[in-house]
Chain A
């Protein structure tokens, strides 16, 4: 598989603030690659560099095999962008929004209309063809932005927080559509702070924090590498927790993480630990056991949970 994007020591400063501190990653053709991080982790800065709203000042960025400083129009031609805010054109109706965008790509008028109508029906907005943008719900606007990003049959689609602010139904619908695109061989790049979204969609992802990449791998690899398979969440005041608990769990091969006022007990053998809780002075009714997920990896790595 060829590399669609290759970044080496990519960094960015805004005046005194170092928003990106030298990150390296490679996105291969046909995969869905995720950037996971808090607000301000550097995800959007990276996206802006890829789609040509930011210059590459430090490090190297290559798109479709071409080194770039500022992404030129011929490369933007190959990409579809779903920005963080819905910057739809309020002066135009739904269909016009797509047609105008198609014309920016130099697609002929009849072809643009045909593609627009097809995309509107694909995204389930065909009933709103001549509606104004103001009249659309948040979910519909998001779907329209995705439709707009597909008007030029892009090889690479960049989705900057595609489902932020959507209700669960709308989110699942967007996920379905994105999976469909991936099946057609389109490369996807996704930023999100929803762990479930990353797990559902990404083949590989990086976890970003304060402008650096902390970990990289498939969701499964990240789980195996960084976290034990079960967690027991303790929902009790910290001062009621027996002081020797951490030691006992660590001795048993587990790990304890304190996240603000919550305690997370990680273990290889959940059943076993669960049975011992009462003996160790923790009432079971204040505890909740579940398999670990990406969120645990994220919390652990980004240091929101200082180890107890």
Chain B
């Protein structure tokens, strides 16, 4: 694990140089969604479960940012380092294992989720959409959200042969997460079987957590959502490690 933090150290050095551009990409996009949907669609939607439409979707933007930040870092970012820049090969010549490299990548995805998710949390707070001090727990939960999306992305990146194929992951995994995750409408509106599948959708659990904490709707369900995220993330970690070992060590 010590090696993984050294790998993270390298990434953080890069991050200190590039965070301003990263903010543009990771923060502005959710804000565009929020304003277009909140103010546009929101004028047609009266109320959802007693909330204004803007209030309903605002907490989801935090989860969305966490998903995008970790996903893009651990797909395109990782693939470029693996394939084009040969950063991993260089690191492996030092006292570092493939496992360290992969855990370092995942940690970086998590850091980005936490930082950018928190930025959105602050923005949403400034817009007056946070109703409860329980929202202070959101950055803590962003750790789990970052973990899940970083690990899932890493599984695909370790498997894919070509950078263009990352689009499949974005279209076939991230887009369904996004559309059915309960960001823009309550998942209870979906057919029963879709709701059942949705239990495998990490964004659904993330959105539920962010929304409940923003509004102070505390319940035992929150533990279930958090536990599912943690389990998904932790159980899948060996997959990218094994795939990358096969790929990097001949």
A and B bind: yes
A window 177-213: CB within 8 A of B: none
B248 with A104: CB separation less than 8 A: no
- Size bracket, chain A contacts: 20 to 34
- Indicate whether B14 reaches chain A with its CB closer than 8 angstroms: yes
Q: Quick check: A53 and B13 within 8 Å, CB to CB?
A: no
Nearest opposing residue in chain A for B97, CB measure: A73
Majority DSSP secondary structure for residues of A touching B: loop
B3 CB–A CB distance under 8 Å: yes
Q: Which of A69-104 contact B (CB under 8 A)?
A: 70, 73-74, 76-77, 79, 81, 83, 85, 87-92, 96, 99-101, 103-104
Q: Given contacts A87-B85, A89-B85, A100-B10, is CB(A55)–CB(B249) below 8 Å?
A: yes
Q: A91 to B14, Cβ gap below 8 A?
A: yes
Instruction: Report the Cα distance A171→B3, complex, angstroms.
Output: 35
Contact status A92-B250, CB under 8 Å: no
Tell me, yes or no, whether A105 is within 8 Å of chain B by CB: yes
A101 to B94, Cβ gap below 8 A?
yes
Interface size class on chain B is 20 to 34
* A106 and B92 form a contact (CB under 8 A): no
B238 within 8 A of partner (CB): no
Chain A residues with Cβ below 8 Å from B86 are: 85, 87
Bound complex: CA of A91 vs CA of B16, how far in Å? 11
Are A73 and B96 touching (Cβ within 8 A)? yes
Q: How far is the CB of A103 from the nearest CB of chain B, in Å? A: 5
A70 to B97, CA, bound (A): 10
Question: How far, in angstroms, from A87 to B248 measured CA to CA in the complex?
Answer: 14
Q: Answer yes or no: B95 CB below 8 A from chain A CBs.
A: yes
B93's partner among A54, A76, A96 (CB-CB below 8 A) is: A76
Is A104 touching B249 in the complex (CB atoms < 8 A)?
no
Residues on A with beta carbons closer than 8 Å to the beta carbon of B85: 87, 89-91
Interface residue B225 (Cβ < 8 Å from any Cβ of A): no
Return 30 A-B CB contacts under 8 Å, by A number: A48-B250, A51-B93, A52-B92, A52-B249, A53-B93, A53-B248, A55-B249, A74-B95, A76-B96, A83-B90, A87-B85, A87-B86, A87-B87, A87-B89, A87-B90, A88-B90, A89-B87, A90-B85, A91-B17, A91-B18, A91-B85, A92-B10, A100-B13, A103-B6, A103-B10, A104-B3, A104-B94, A104-B95, A105-B94, A105-B95
